[in-house]
Amino acid sequence: MSRILLAAAALSAVVSLGNGKLIGDVVNEGLRRAQEGHRALSNEDILMGMLGKEVFSFDVDECLVGVDENGTATYGRCEIRRFPYCEGNTPHICFNRINRQDKFWPDKNPYYYIDYKRIHCYPDIEGFTCSSCSPGRWCTPEGRCILDENMYSCWDDATEQ
């Protein structure tokens, strides 16, 4: 019973963005401290420290840049400074990638993107992982989200996410 309560508490923590800070806020604070002689961390340093069981690729991942008046989405390079800063009880970032409807891999699996509004921080509790791809699952050997998991062997005990 206590494991169920622990999982429920963990889920309620995930709903929030943690402390409300963005990575950009932390970088700005670090730059101020660097002027005082302290080492400043970069966006990338901060993000790498929050990944936990999550993955992020500067070359592959795209973020939702905006939606025009016709409802057409634009995707582009992610601005790490807009990601939430995860610390304390929820130290790990989770991107909750969403499948695109307009771009597909040759195997007919959709490309996925990151929406800044869906990024959350989650707790460091054994057995609790984020859902990196919704719908679908992260396939480590492929380095991407897979919608149709029957076509791949991504989820044996060694690689499951």
pLDDT of residue 15: 40
pLDDT of residue 117: 93
Model pLDDT for residues 48-106, shown as the tens digit of each residue: 777 777 888 888 899 999 999 998 999 999 998 898 888 888 888 889 999 999 999 99
- Structure-model confidence comparison of residues 148 and 16, the more confident one: 148
Alpha carbons 40 and 131: distance in angstroms, whole number: 31
DSSP one-letter string for 101-160: EEEE-TTSPEEEEB-GGG-EEE---TT-----EESSEEETTTTEEES-GGG----STTT-
Model pLDDT for residues 10-43, shown as the tens digit of each residue: 334 444 445 577 777 776 665 555 555 555 566 6
Residues 79, 95: contact at Cβ < 8 Å? no
pLDDT tops 90 at residue 7: no
Two structure tokens written together for 31: 């730059």
Listed by start position, the domains of the chain span 2-151
pLDDT of residue 73: 93
Q: Which residues contact 94 (CB under 8 A, 6 or more apart)?
A: 14, 54, 119, 120, 121, 122, 130, 131, 132
pTM: 0.72
